[in-house]
Each structure stands twice: as structure tokens, then as C-alpha cells.
Structure 1
Amino acid sequence: MSLSPETPVLISEVGPRDGLQSVKSTMATADKCRWIDALVAAGVREIEVASFVPPALLPQMADAAEVVRHALRHSGITVMALVPNRRGAENALKAGVHKLTMPVSASTAHSLANVRKTPQQMVEEVRAIAQLRDAIAPGVKLEAGISTAFGCTLQGEVAEDDVIRLAASCIEAGADESGLSDTVGYANPAQVRRLFRRLRAEIGVHAGAAHMHNTRGLGLANCLAAWDEGVRTFDSSLGGLGGCPYAPGASGNVVTEDLVFMFEAMGVRTGIDLERLFAARAPLMAGLPGEPVYGMAPEAGLPKGFAQAR
């Protein structure tokens, strides 16, 4: 697939799942639905709306099936859900999601803490879920995101060879895509360029999204570095919510509002209306009163005379 600077980017909003999983208070289902409605109204085309995990482990996601059903009322969007295992995948497919995402950590320590399986065991979980998907819902996409691809607070350094080998194994096991996640905010732009270049050389069109965290202030710089290497799908979270509860020190995702502004200011089309995106913060804040939200662009406003890419 040929990618030029004029190729539009896909902003994949992960706030309703990744953003909420690390928030202590539980957002009401009705508030989640209003938030999703506002994101769709802004032009967001892909939303990770929930994770299918035991409610005892993550009460915030106890309403996953209901939220998925609501999101499916909207046409023209991809409704995604995270699934850590076959049971979660069964429930997500039953709910009708368009895409499954799986967390496959390159760090053994993080993988054991997060899903209680080694990276190699998670590859076999990918295989089992791919077979399940093929049997009952062959149109559903499966993405295996490589967590802690740039380092881990539990393990420390993560070998780049291990990351690339793991991504290739996930594709061989039946995943449609495999992207790279900076779960704990360790990445720098040079590292991002190097690793995504290797990923694209290894798995080609199966190379997936860049999922960056802004823990150390390099989120946007790392997204731009990934874009330079041909990445055209980026995960982000409205208001910068998010972080992995099983990775100490992992703070928020890249702010969707700032990411969209950066690309639109560069003349790269996102299909998202910035003013409406800023307005989508209102239902988020109403549903999580007192929870801090972040973002430079919505605070400063759009520059005088600013026009979005068309």
C-alpha cells in the first residue's frame, strides 16, 4: 500500500475503554453513551468503547455489552472492544463488535501482571480467538497490539528483536493487524522511527496503529515520528485520560484534541471537526465530575484564521 503525506489519518478514540480503565470512579452507562454520541458527531470513525473482562476485576466495564449495543446504533463507525481471552472474545462477538483488540505484552513481567499469561501464551490466545472469529464472525477484524514495546516499568528494557518477533507471531496466529504501544511512556522519536520501520519491513500491510502515552511529554512527537515512517492509524484518548492499572507510572494517553489539531495544522486530513471534538469534552466531564482532563488545543482555542484540511 502506497502512503503519501496527503493520505488521511485514522484517529482511533480509546477513551471509553483505555481512558476509563484507570479512573477510580465509575462513569454511568448513560454518560458513556452521551460521550460516544458526541465523539461520533465530531466525526470520529473508530472508537474502542469497552473491554470484556470480569466485572469483579474492572467494575468500570460491567456494562460493556450495553455500551456496544448503543454504539452500534451509529452507522459509519467501527465499534471496537478489548478482549484479553477467548471468553471475552465470545462475549464481545455476541454483542456485535466490528473489531477485537488484544493486549499482547512484549514484557513478560507486564504480561503476567496484566493477563496472567506469558507473551508466548498470549500468542496462542490470539490463535484461539482468530479461530473463534473465523468460525462465527469472519468479518470481524482482530488487532494484536504489542504492549510495552518501547520499555516496561516492571521489566525495564524490552529487546526490539522480541517486539518484532512477537508482532510477526501474532500475525501468523491469525491477527489482521499488529501495532506498537508505548504503554508506560518510555519511547522517544528516534526509537519510534526505528521500531516502526522494522515492524513495517517485517509484517508489511499488517502493521497497525501507534498507541502512544504522554507520560514524559513526548506523545505528540512520537506520533509524528510514527507518521514519518508511514503509520496512518493513531490511538488517542479525549482529554488525555488513560493508563494501564498493571503498569506502575503509566499515565495518560495522547490527547485526541491535540493530536487532531497537530495533523489538521499540517494539512493532514482526519475527518474530525475540531470544534465539535472540543464540545465532546462536556459529556466526558459531566460523567466524571472532578476528574482532571488535559489538552493544550482546547484550552488555548484554535488560531485566528485556522482552517481544517479538506
Structure 2
Amino acid sequence: MTLLAALSNALVGCGGSTEGPPAVSTVPTPAQTPVQTPVQTPASPVTSSTDLQSFAAAWISYNMVQTAPLLQLTSGASGSCPSGGNARFDASTQIETLAACGSKQFPEHLYSGSFTVSNLSKNNASGLTTMSIGTPSITVANASSQTEFSLESGDIGGYFTDSDTADSYFFASNSLIFKAGQVSRYVLSNAGSTSIVIAILNGQPDRSTNNLVFTTNNGKDTWQVQVMSPVHEAGTARPDRGSLLITRLGATQALSVSFGTNNNLTLSGGEDGAGSRTFNWSDAVVQAALEAGRK
């Protein structure tokens, strides 16, 4: 969230003659160096899995839609960001600008770009902030400042609450267009969540995403993705619990993905007809599917 040994043939010939009476000459048979069949290393099997492709599209989209809470959090903010970079809000134009802004909630990402903020309302007593976000142009980079994906357009409405124990985010969007990699684009529609809760424990985020649903299209296929049980992520680690239900448009059976400890995920149902399968995030087939989804 991938050999052939050289074949060498050697033919050695020898022959000669002696002086004297004519004699019937014989042509010696050239000595042959045995030709050895090279040992070939079999290529890694190519695994064509519709289910892994569906999971990759859903997971890439899941991570990109998590940009919404960060934009909510920074709406109307000005000053240094908690983990580097800065934010600046121009009240006259209602434009929020982020410059390599890092947050405690999403420490694996740096956000740069701008978006408009309207209907901004803050209630400091209750910790409630509401807003409407439009015309986003946001680049999301990793901690090494390498671009991972970008939000090119869309709309976000909703609110978040800030308390001493955790932040809770609620949002809805008609459309969000993301670019992942050089050519891959995902159009997310009807996205929304009624509960993304983020607490900071020992300086690290503890995120629980519940009631998130969206439809994503990569230009070829369309999937509906729904969080069936809260997806939990501690810090920058992979999810250790929770599940997604992924339904490809036209498929006869939905795919269920359950996250577990030890960096495992289990696929059940789906279109491959392969039953229940457990993978590790580091498995080559999983990484290949994710890489293909981010071309």
C-alpha cells in the first residue's frame, strides 16, 4: 500500500597430414565439447487476482479520502504546523494555504497547496468547528518529501470536535478527484464518515475509522467501499483490526477484507473463487497490486 543463464557452445576441431606415398586420407571426427543444457531459474508465477486488484483500489482510495479530516483540521488556521511547515488563512479571500504542513494526527504525510473555506464557524466552548471546503489543490508527500498522491478537485462539508481526549471528524463529499502516481486517477463520489476518531497517545496518533463509505472509480472499474467494523491504526503502523466490504460494479459477490495483528489481512468471498486467503502486507503479490494501482 516485481533469468536466463547464458548458453555456451564450443566446438574444437583438429587434423593433420604426413609426407610419403599417396595414401587414402581420413578425416578425423572433430572432438565435440558436450553441450550442456543450462539450468534455468523459473520465473516467479504471475498472480492475476481480481480480488487483490479490488483491494488495492479500495485501500489506495481509503488512504486518499483520509485527506478530508486534515483539511477540516487546518481550516481557518494560521501559524506553524505541529510537525513542521506552516498554514496561513487569508480571511479576505477565504483561502487556506498549506506549506509542507505536518500534523500529529497524520505524521506520515506532509500537505502542501490551497483550498477555499466557507461557512467557517468555531465554538471554542464546545470545541466544535464547522466548515465547507472547495477547490482543493493539495499535494500529499511522505516524510521524505516525495509525492504520494494529490487532491485535484472536490468538495467537503462537515465538522469536527476537539476535546482533551480525542478529535472526532464528520464529513460528506459529492466528489473528490485524486491522482496517484503518474497516470492513475481515482474519482471518489458520495464519500462520507460519521465517525473518525483520533487520539494522541504517547505522542503518536491512535486512529479509529468507522461508518466510512465511498464509491471509487479508476477509469476502468467502479467499487463501493464500506467500513464494516472500525479500522484501527496505531501511529504509522498497518491496521491491526477492522474490516472493509468492497463491491465491484458488475461483480456477483462482494469482497470482505479483515485486518489483523502481525501485519496480516484476510480476503474472503470476492470474485476469484479462492475462498479465504490470508496475506502479509509485505507479500510480493500484495505489493505488486498496490504498485499497479498507483502507476
TM-score normalized with structure 2 length: 0.30
Higher helix share: 1
Structure with higher Rg: it is: 2
After TM superposition, the score normalised by the length of structure 1 is 0.29
Higher-strand-fraction structure:
2
